[in-house]
Amino acid sequence: MSELPPTPPPAAPAAPPAAPAAPPAKTVDDIKRDPIVASAVARVNDAILDAKEFAGEITLFADRDRIVEVCRAFKDDGFVYLVDLAGVDYSKFPNHSGLRFSVAYMLYSFQKNARVRLRVWTDADTPVPSVTGVWKTANWHERETFDMLGIQFSGHPNLERILMWEGFNGHPLRKDFPIRGIDTGARIYPEVFPEGGGPKAGSTGKPANDVNVYKGEWKKYGTWPAAQIGGAPKPAVAAAPKPAPKPVAAAPAVEEGE
Amino acid sequence: MFDVHEMEVNFGPQHPSTHGVLRVLLKIDGERIIEAKPIIGYLHRGTEKLFEHMAYPQCIPHTDRMDYVASATNNLGFVEAVEKILGVTKLIPRRAQILRVILSELQRISSHLLWLATHAIDIGAMTPFFYCFREREQILDLFEAYCGARLTLNCMRIGGMPEDAPHGWLDEIEAFCAKFDAAVDEYESLLTTNRIWKRRTVGIGVLSPEDAIEWGITGPPLRGSGVEWDLRRAQPYECYPELEFDIPIGRNGDTYDRYLCRMAEMRQSNRILKQCIPLIKQTTPGDLKAKISKVIRPPEGEVYHSIEAPKGELGYYIVSDGKTQNAYRCHVRPPSFVNLQALPMLAKGHLVSDLVALIGTIDIVLGEVDR
């Protein structure tokens, strides 16, 4: 939010970005006392660790281990509808310190016609208690979050992959997962693909340089070594000597071509 | 363990009535479904990952490809979410707002027409397909006249609309609206009181309002269960507050009520369109874009914004780090994904042929389920 006031001066229309600048003056206690959430927060006040307001939306940071209790309190208070559940990988977020993943629960109350967002922090190993016992709809949302980000949910009835196939190695929405995909290790046609080099997720199994990827990210990952899974340090070494012969000419040509 | 009479059958993924590549693993006893397990992911393209790697305006064509039969509403949800995080929602010119509503409502009608055509053909009624596609074709022609595309429209921009209505376009919409109510009457005369249609839909897949909310169901399936909730009314966006329309609701929450709801919704969309034409004619032509920076770099923060798409609540959860022109994370809440989750509960105890009706009545698009 601190970036917000400096932005208007360069741009001519100064009025609009100033609008969301007012809420940050609110303290955590102010937000907790907001009529939308006050009665629900009162039930589990000590489990709400932090609160933010941005663009008129309230975000409450809850204690991870007590999230089921918090969700139940909100449900009893009228937030009967779990709209969405989304995980975020904060590992590349600027100036972020603390746990790597966040899970956001978007709730809606028909009585108040209002939304509130609950959030918890976790890391790759610590499971978040599942809220499938509170809302049945959480089932697929949590499976998706597990599949895409590898966040564990304890107490989930069947925490298995939903969008990727069973046995896929990796979690695509993690920030260290390359956008062009990885060698999945699947050996479907051993007579066509070399040892250890099965079809690649997101490509046709062609060599890396023939694959069209966004924004020249290929340079970071280089060619695909056999049986290499994920962004191990090996490709960086493999990539470095390759552009060495004509580094100056090759690099800009690719950038322009993109 | 299996009883001797039970067997496991794969329904799909390549089956015309699964509306794409949905696979349902059925445990059946004769024709009766004991358990249905939807298996999805065959059309997963990593759209959310792509969103993280491209600037906000570049994401708009990718939103088209999620719910590919209702791309205008997908565009609308995304551009509104970005406008919300930028804090420029109030700056959108009135003409652009009305144009957005016109495109969304046309899209809602065309999406419902495609639903009706395929739903009816799944159940065995061939004729409505031809009738529905007749009107849908006219809507696609209108889209083509506006933006050149018929299906993946890419017709909205952050901060406004790309271009004005072409010459004579509004009159064409007016002519379409004048005839459309009669067309809906025609579909209804084929189905609503049809004895076979009622035998196949009444009492099939009954969804109580409590279950609907528990499972996060939105859109026509929720309203078919008797919950009067529509985001266009509950949390209105664009120029919806000044438009008059009713929210049709069902009573029994079965397949037949959801059918009636969607039929009534088409009439309401037509009513909205009829109100929009005089409104847009009062505004200044060409006033389509808000004066916002060409470089979209939102402040650090997160928003969740949702709109009423033809299939239910379509939401975008955007996290911005305040430094880049990309979304740090953009999560899509697709209505079909959430609604499909209720299929096992709805299908239990019904016949296999009813499963076809149930998949149709939920109105899924696998592009949106799998993203």
- The pLDDT tens digits of the residues spanning A203-212 come to 444 444 444 4
Residue A5: predicted pLDDT: 45
How many contacts, defined by CB atoms under 8 Å, are there between A and B?
130
Residue A5 lies in a domain: no
Please give the Cα distance from B142 to B147 (Å, whole number).
9
> Per-residue pLDDT for A234 more than 70?
no
Residue A42: predicted pLDDT: 79
- Encoded tokens for B245: 């329309």
Pair (A143, A67) in one structural domain: yes
* Type of residue at A257: G
Pair (A138, A98) in one structural domain: yes
If contacts are CB pairs under 8 Å, which of residues 309-348 in chain B contact chain A? 313, 315, 317, 319, 321-323, 328-329, 331, 333, 337-338, 341
Cβ-based contacts of A172 with chain B (< 8 Å): 46, 49
- Helix axes of B71-86 and B56-64: crossing angle, nearest 10 degrees: 160
The count of C-alpha atoms lying within 13 angstroms of the C-alpha of A111, restricted to the half-sphere facing its C-beta, is 10
Decide which of A24 and B259 is more confident: B259
Q: Is B88 on the interface with A (CB under 8 A)?
A: yes
Burial of A3 (0-12, 13-18, 19+ CB in 10 A): middle
Pair (A90, A26) in one structural domain: yes
Pair (A185, A132) in one structural domain: no
CB spacing of B331 vs A86 below 8 angstroms: yes
User: Count of domains in chain A?
Assistant: 2
pLDDT > 70 fraction of chain A, expressed in percent and rounded: 60
CB spacing of A88 vs B328 below 8 angstroms: yes
Please give the Cα distance from B134 to B346 (Å, whole number).
32
CB spacing of B333 vs A148 below 8 angstroms: no
Residue A168 lies in a domain: no
Cβ-based contacts of A179 with chain B (< 8 Å): 46, 49-50, 52-53
Widest CA span of chain B, in angstroms?
72
CB spacing of A82 vs B315 below 8 angstroms: no
Q: Where are the alpha helices (DSSP H) in B294-365?
A: 335-340, 343-347, 352-362
Please give the Cα distance from B228 to B250 (Å, whole number).
9
Residue A258 lies in a domain: yes
Task: Please tell me which of the candidates A57, A137, A165 has its beta carbon nearest to residue B304.
Answer: A57
What pTM does this model have? 0.81
> Per-residue pLDDT for A242 more than 70?
no
Range with top average pLDDT, A180-184, A222-226, B70-74: B70-74
Please give the Cα distance from A141 to A131 (Å, whole number).
10
Please give the Cα distance from A85 to A176 (Å, whole number).
22
Phi, psi at residue B261, to the nearest 5°?
-60, -50
Q: Quick check: A103 and A87 in contact, CB under 8 A?
A: yes
**Alpha-carbon distances, residue B55 vs A180, A212, A232, B252 (angstroms):** 17, 18, 27, 46
CB spacing of B322 vs A3 below 8 angstroms: yes
CB spacing of B304 vs A83 below 8 angstroms: yes
Walk along chain B (371 residues) and give the pLDDT tens digit of each residue: 555 678 888 887 877 777 778 888 888 888 888 888 998 888 888 899 989 988 899 899 999 988 888 999 999 999 999 999 988 888 899 999 999 999 999 999 999 999 999 999 888 888 899 999 999 999 999 999 998 888 899 889 898 898 888 888 999 999 999 999 999 999 999 888 889 898 888 888 898 999 899 998 999 999 999 888 888 888 888 889 889 899 998 888 889 999 999 999 999 999 999 999 999 988 888 888 888 888 888 888 899 999 999 999 999 999 998 888 889 999 999 999 999 998 999 888 888 888 888 888 988 888 889 88
Pair (A149, A202) in one structural domain: no
- Encoded tokens for B276: 């929009």
Residues 6+ apart with CB under 8 A from A135: A71, A75, A82, B214, B216
- Encoded tokens for A201: 């997720």
| Of A108, A118, A103, residue with least CA distance to A156 | A103
Please give the Cα distance from B268 to B246 (Å, whole number).
7
Pair (A116, A182) in one structural domain: no
Please give the Cα distance from B361 to B365 (Å, whole number).
12
Pair (A56, A133) in one structural domain: yes
Domain CATH for A27? 3.30.460.80
With H, G, I as helix, E, B as strand and everything else as coil, classify residue B316. strand
Residue B2: predicted pLDDT: 55
Please give the Cα distance from B327 to B48 (Å, whole number).
10
Residue of B329, B345, B368 to mutate, interface with A, max A Cβ within 10 Å: B329
Residue B3: predicted pLDDT: 57
Q: Quick check: B35 and B344 in contact, CB under 8 A?
A: yes
Q: Is B167 on the interface with A (CB under 8 A)?
A: no
Residue A39 lies in a domain: yes
Residue A16: predicted pLDDT: 43
* Residue given tokens 């100056």 in the structure block: A248
pLDDT > 90 fraction of chain B, expressed in percent and rounded: 36
Question: Nearest residue on chain A to B49, judged by CA atoms?
Answer: A173
Task: Please tell me which of the candidates A11, A140, A163 has its beta carbon nearest to residue B44.
Answer: A163
CB spacing of B317 vs A115 below 8 angstroms: no
Last residue of one domain, picked from the residues A92, A120, A154: A154
> Per-residue pLDDT for A1 more than 80?
no
Residue A105 lies in a domain: yes
Please give the Cα distance from B360 to B342 (Å, whole number).
13
Give domain B47-370's CATH architecture. Answer: Orthogonal Bundle (1.10)
* Residue given tokens 């949800």 in the structure block: B77
CB spacing of B300 vs A136 below 8 angstroms: no
pLDDT > 90 fraction of chain A, expressed in percent and rounded: 17
Q: Quick check: B43 and B26 in contact, CB under 8 A?
A: no
Q: Quick check: B238 and B289 in contact, CB under 8 A?
A: no
Burial of B241 (0-12, 13-18, 19+ CB in 10 A): exposed
* Residue given tokens 């809606």 in the structure block: A108
Q: DSSP for chain A? A: -TTTTTSTTTSS--HHHHGGGSGGGS-HHHHHTSTTTHHHHHHTGGGEEEEEEETTEEEEEE-GGGHHHHHHHHHHTT--EEEEEEEEE-TTSTT--S-SEEEEEEEEETTTTEEEEEEEEE-SSSPEEP-TTT-TTHHHHHHHHHHHH---EET-TT---SSSPTT--S-TTSTTS-TT--B----S-TTTSPTT--PBTTS-S--GGGS--GGGTHHHH-S--TT--SS-HHHHHHHTTTT-SSHHHHHHHHHHH-
**Alpha-carbon distances, residue B304 vs A117, B212, B220 (angstroms):** 9, 22, 22
Q: DSSP for B209-275? A: HHHHHHTT--SHHHHHTT----HHHHS--TTGGGS-------SS-SHHHHHHHHHHHHHHHHHHHHH
Last residue of one domain, picked from the residues A105, A138, A154: A154
Round the average pLDDT of chain A to a whole number and report it: 70
Pair (A150, A188) in one structural domain: no
Q: pLDDT confidence of A231, banded at 50, 70, 90?
A: very low
- Which residue range is the domain that position A93 belongs to? 15-154
Please give the Cα distance from B216 to A134 (Å, whole number).
12
Last residue of one domain, picked from the residues A138, A154, A170: A154
| Ramachandran assignment for A82, one of left (phi > 0), alpha (psi -120 to 50 degrees), beta (any other) | beta
Task: Please tell me which of the candidates B54, B87, B338 has its beta carbon nearest to residue A17.
Answer: B87
Q: pLDDT confidence of A223, banded at 50, 70, 90?
A: very low
Residue A51: predicted pLDDT: 84
* Count of Cβ atoms closer than 10 Å to residue B304 Cβ: 25
Q: What is the pLDDT of residues A73-105, one digit of tens each?
A: 999 888 898 999 999 999 888 888 888 899 999
Task: Please tell me which of the candidates A115, A202, A215 has its beta carbon nearest to residue B304.
Answer: A115
Q: Quick check: A227 and A185 in contact, CB under 8 A?
A: yes
Decide which of A199 and A168 is more confident: A168
Please give the Cα distance from B126 to B119 (Å, whole number).
10
* Count of Cβ atoms closer than 10 Å to residue B152 Cβ: 16
Pair (A120, A194) in one structural domain: no
Widest CA span of chain A, in angstroms?
68
